[in-house]
């Protein structure tokens, strides 16, 4: 898809489960008065697909099927929520986006990065302007995540070794996209992390306004 004439700004948060990304996405959206959305989900149809993905047995879907389901959800989210926000000139903050598929399905669950990239190019074709990867020790993050008992723990149930592979994947992603990805230390008090992120986001937005 060709990107539309965009006036808005698309900011994403990424990281392993329990890293603190939702907390930080919420805090930044509030501080900027931005729209807040999430993946999998973020539109009515995508939220329905989310339930198929986050509930049930870990072995319920193969990595290949997951790529298709996450991309289907993302396409609906893009059409119904993200592009309309960008077209009206809004700042929109998403708790996860395509980098999660690159790392979870493309690297950590299976080595399927090429297929992830093909499908992304064909069906999504949009990259965030700015991405914050919250980097948190997997053992700390896993305890935080499971403590929630949300019933949405299909991926957390894959265990600590999987979370360590994910962290490696997100660190590699930060090296792959140094222009847009900012690595944020997640083992700090939530308010310290939030001010760090707000400073970086505001500098980025000011740069765009003047550039």
Q: Which parts of this chain interact with ligand ADP (CB under 6 A)? A: 15, 17-23, 144-145, 148, 189-190, 193
- Is the distance from CB of 93 to CB of 25 less than 8 angstroms? yes
Per-residue binding letters, 78-117, with ligand TYD (x by CB under 6 A): -----------------xx---xx--xx------------
Q: Look at residue 20 and give the partner it binds from ligand ADP, ligand TYD, none, a contact being a CB closer than 5 to 8 Å depending on partner kind.
A: ligand ADP
23 SS3 class: helix
35-38 vs 130-135, strand pairing mode:
unpaired
> Which H helix or E strand runs over 171?
helix 160-176
Q: Which CB sits closer to ligand ADP, 26 or 80? A: 26
Residue of closest CB approach to ligand TYD:
155
Residue 54's binding partner among ligand TYD, ligand ADP, none (Cβ under 5 to 8 angstroms by kind) is ligand TYD
Q: Which does 14 bind (CB under 5 to 8 A by kind): ligand TYD, ligand ADP, none?
A: none
Query: Cβ contacts of residue 179 below 8 Å, gap of 6+?
Result: none
Which residue in 90, 87, 102 sits closest to 36, CA to CA? 90
For the bound state, the minimum distance from the C-beta of residue 15 to ligand ADP, rounded and expressed in Å, comes to 5
Residues 46-65 that bind ligand TYD (CB under 6 A): 53-54
- Give CA–CA dist 127/132, Å, rounded: 13
Instruction: Compute the half-sphere exposure of residue 29: CA atoms within 13 Å on the CB side of its CA.
Output: 20
Indicate whether 42 belongs to the interface with ligand TYD (CB under 6 A): no
Closest approach of ligand TYD to the CB of residue 207, in Å: 28
Q: Does 17 bind ligand TYD (CB under 6 A)?
A: yes
- Compare residues 22 and 200 and give the one whose CB is closer to ligand TYD: 22
CB of 17 to ligand TYD, least distance (A): 3
* Residue choice 27, 37, 39, 142 for contact with ligand TYD (CB under 6 A): 39
Q: Residue 167: CA atoms inside 13 Å, Cβ hemisphere, count?
A: 20
Q: What order do you get walking across the sheet with 130-135 strand by strand?
A: 35-38, 91-95, 9-14, 130-135, 181-185
Q: Which is nearer to ligand ADP, 83 or 94 (CB)?
A: 94
Q: Could you give the 3-state DSSP secondary structure of residue 137?
A: coil
Q: Residue 206 pairs with which residues in a beta bridge? A: none
């Amino acid at each position: 898809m060709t990107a539309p004439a965009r006036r808005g700004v698309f900011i994403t948060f990424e990281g392993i489960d329990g890293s603190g990304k939702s907390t930080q996405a919420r805090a930044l959206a509030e501080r900027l008065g931005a729209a807040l959305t999430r993946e999998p989900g973020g539109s009515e149809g995508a939220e329905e697909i989310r339930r198929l993905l986050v509930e049930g047995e870990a072995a319920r879907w193969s990595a290949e099927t997951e790529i298709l389901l996450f991309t289907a959800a993302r396409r609906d989210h893009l059409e119904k929520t993200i592009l309309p926000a960008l077209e009206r000139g809004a700042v929109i903050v998403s708790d996860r986006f395509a980098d999660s598929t690159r790392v979870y399905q493309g690297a950590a669950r299976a080595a399927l990065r090429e297929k992830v990239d093909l499908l992304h190019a064909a069906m999504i074709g949009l990259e965030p302007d700015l991405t914050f990867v919250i980097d948190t020790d997997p053992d700390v993050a896993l305890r935080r995540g499971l403590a929630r008992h949300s019933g949405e723990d299909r991926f957390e149930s894959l265990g600590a070794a999987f979370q360590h592979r994910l962290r490696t994947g997100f660190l590699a992603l930060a090296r792959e996209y140094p222009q847009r990805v900012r690595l944020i230390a997640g083992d700090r008090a939530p308010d310290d992390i939030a001010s760090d992120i707000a400073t970086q986001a505001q500098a980025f937005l000011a740069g765009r306004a003047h550039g």
